[in-house]
Amino acid sequence: MRDLNHDVARILIPRDSLSQRIHELGQQITADYHGKDPVLVGVLKGAVVFMVDLARAISLPVELDFMAVSSYGASTQSTGVVRILKDLDRSIGGRDVLVVEDIVDSGLTLRYIVDNLCDRRPASLRICALLRKQKARTPGPEIDYVGFEIPDDFVVGYGLDYAEQYRNLPYIGVLRPELYEREQV
Ligand code: IMP
Ligand code: MG
């Protein structure tokens, strides 16, 4: 049987570091939202693995809701043209919303989601991203909670995919470039 681990050039963030950092983020969010009952809005599908671990690290009554978006264009690069495939189940008007994202690369996807959610008049809106790439640190939307700053390599695992594969790897790894570089030519 094919071993997905062989497609990974190197492990960037091992599972222990992920769980330790997510525990810290959970404690920070618990303190910041004291007395509130925020709605965690996960961006499908990449944020799912992170979101379920983060939610369990938060000691507050939270609600979970999900949005699915797709960006047009090549699968390793964002175009900023975003389409909503699945909207939230419930209204977020007057609620404290925490958007949970797997990774901010160009920030274009997140920009679209944040603008769209702000139009619905939440009481507050913050962003929590597990990973932020280097190139995302200039302009882009402000990220309130960042798990890890990472280099601009294409990464997979812990929810992140390449062509819908590798989401179930328990760590964040750098995909061997020869597996996708033909597509980028
Ligand atoms: P952005 O619009 O360029 O910020 O891209 C955001 C989305 O692209 C993320 O939610 C991911 O789905 C995907 N993405 C960006 N970089 C990576 C990566 O290194 N691995 C897997 N998916 C990525
Ligand atoms: Mg994604």
141 Cβ inside 6 Å of ligand 1:
no
Rg (CA), the chain: 16
The pair of three-digit structure tokens given for residue 79, joined into one six-digit string: 């175009």
Residues in the chain: 185
- What percent of the chain stands above pLDDT 90? 77
Residue 176 lies in a domain: no
- Give me the residue label for tokens 């760590």: 171
For residue 181, pLDDT over 90 is answered with no
CA of 159 to the centre of ligand 1 (A): 11
pLDDT at residue 106 is higher than 90: no
37 within a domain of the structure (yes/no):
yes
The pLDDT score that the predictor gives to residue 7 is 95
**With bands split at pLDDT 50, 70 and 90, how would you rate the model's confidence at 137?**
low
Q: Does a structural domain hold residue 50? A: yes
Question: What SS3 class is residue 101?
Answer: strand
**How many Å apart are CA 184 and CA 74, to the nearest integer?**
8
Cβ distance 127 to 144 under 8 Å?
yes
Q: Residue 141's domain is classified under what CATH number?
A: 3.40.50.2020
Q: What domain range is 81 assigned to?
A: 15-150
Asked whether the predicted pLDDT for residue 129 surpasses 80, the reply is yes
Quote the number of domains for the chain: 1
Q: Whose CA is nearest to atom 15 of ligand 1?
A: 105
In this structure, are residues 156 and 168 in contact, taking their beta carbons and an 8 Å threshold?
Answer: no
132, amino acid identity: R
Q: Using a 6 Å cutoff on CB, does residue 102 contact ligand 1?
A: yes
Cβ-based neighbours of 68, under 8 Å, separated by 6 or more: 43, 44, 45, 84, 85, 86
Q: Residue 71: pLDDT above 80? A: no
Q: Which ligand is nearest to the CA of 74?
A: 1
pLDDT higher than threshold 90 for residue 83: no
User: Above pLDDT 70, what percent of the chain?
Assistant: 90
